[in-house]
Amino acid sequence: MLTALLATPLVLLVAGFAFSAWRTRALERQFPNVGEPIDIGGLRMNSVFVPAGTTADLPPVVFIHGASGNLRDQMHAFRNRLEGRADLLFLDRPGHGYSERGGPENAFPDGQAHAIARLMDRRGIGRAIIVGHSFGGAIAASFALEHPEKTAGLLFLAPATHPWPGGIDWYYDLAKLPVIGWLFSHIVAMPAGLLRIEGGTRSVFSPNPCPDDYIAATAPALVLRPKTFRNNAIDVASLLDHVRRIQPRYAEIRTPTVIVTGDTDGIVYEEIHSRGLARDIAGSELVWIRNLGHKPDYVVTDLAIEALEKIAGRDRDLQESARRAEARLAKDHI
């Protein structure tokens, strides 16, 4: 009896490891790498580069995905709409998608910003408009501070950039721990995450509908792979200390900047982050949209593209575009 009782936890551990390994391989067959890993010194960083050729009317654009994401997210939203208008660079952040993690500096937004700058060099991009969604907003801000010579402008989409009250979800705190976190990521994260992937994705878009093809097209389940899950948890757990340290420097940013956010974002406190950026970055424009959640890249894609055009120097009335978007969202919300 005692032997059986002692054996039960071991059996569960082995079963958990086996299931996560099997599902990791299955996910990678279902969602193979669509990018090209490039050695940038210290890690191989994965990206998709879409050249504009001779038809470009905008500067190059670099897209930085948020937490739990990968390059497919921003690529699915913007590639078809912008292809031929600018050189486009979609990337997997260090430790996400099919990018290697690299050194411990890549647990922080400024370390990832340096990695992106090296990737731009390898891709032949000198200066670009940097687009950051959610967690990617903190990296975009750090990029502008550390590499102003490479920053042609900034577009923040529902960014996470400022200190906030409270903490983070418990599983991030757990997964970042040295031993327990490793076990949690390798045994629990995959089965629990698969059960929540559809509901969790809908909550990210809420109150706006999630596109029917979003999960199949953007592969959010890739974050459930044990190494990626733990990297993501460490990123999120490191963010608050980072923004406490870096936020006082945002006033140093001197580049055309637009911030697009909604008043019903259930993921970040838009009144802290987006209004904070508008306050801290001189000359920036805040575009505040009622009935918009955490995914302006998908829900108001036209407005985001207009914002890119305005950053590039075109005459665009983003506030009027926001009013039109609000009217549409109010109609959809009824």
| E strand intervals along the chain | 36-39, 44-50, 61-64, 88-91, 128-133, 151-157, 257-262, 285-289
For 198, phi and psi rounded to 5 degrees? -70, -50
236, 172 Cβ separation under 8 angstroms: yes
Query: Which pLDDT belongs to residue 6?
Result: 40
* Other CB atoms within 10 A of residue 255 CB: 17
Domain holding 310, by residue range, is 24-333
- Helix 301-311 and helix 71-82, axial crossing angle in degrees, nearest 10: 70
- In this structure, the chain runs to a length of 334
Query: Which pLDDT belongs to residue 14?
Result: 83
- What is this structure's pTM? 0.95
10-residue stretch averages of pLDDT, the chain, 334 residues long: 49 84 98 98 97 95 98 98 98 98 98 98 98 98 98 98 93 92 95 96 97 98 98 97 97 98 96 98 98 98 98 98 96 71
Say whether 318 sits in a helix, a strand or coil: helix
* Within a domain: 8: no
* Within a domain: 7: no
The 10 Å CB-count burial string (b at 16+, else e) for 275-284 is bbbbebbeeb
Query: Which pLDDT belongs to residue 7?
Result: 46
* Within a domain: 2: no
Cα(94)–Cα(182) distance, integer angstroms:
18
* Within a domain: 9: no
* Within a domain: 5: no
CA distances from 60 to 87, 101, 141 (A): 5, 25, 17
Query: Which pLDDT belongs to residue 333?
Result: 66
CA distances from 176 to 122, 185, 226, 228, 287 (A): 31, 9, 12, 12, 35
* Within a domain: 316: yes
Query: Which pLDDT belongs to residue 8?
Result: 56
* Within a domain: 12: no
Q: How many angstroms from the chain centroid is the CA of residue 333?
A: 26
Count of structural domains within the chain: 1
* Within a domain: 200: yes
Cα(117)–Cα(289) distance, integer angstroms:
31
Looking up residue 123, the CATH number of its domain turns out to be: 3.40.50.1820
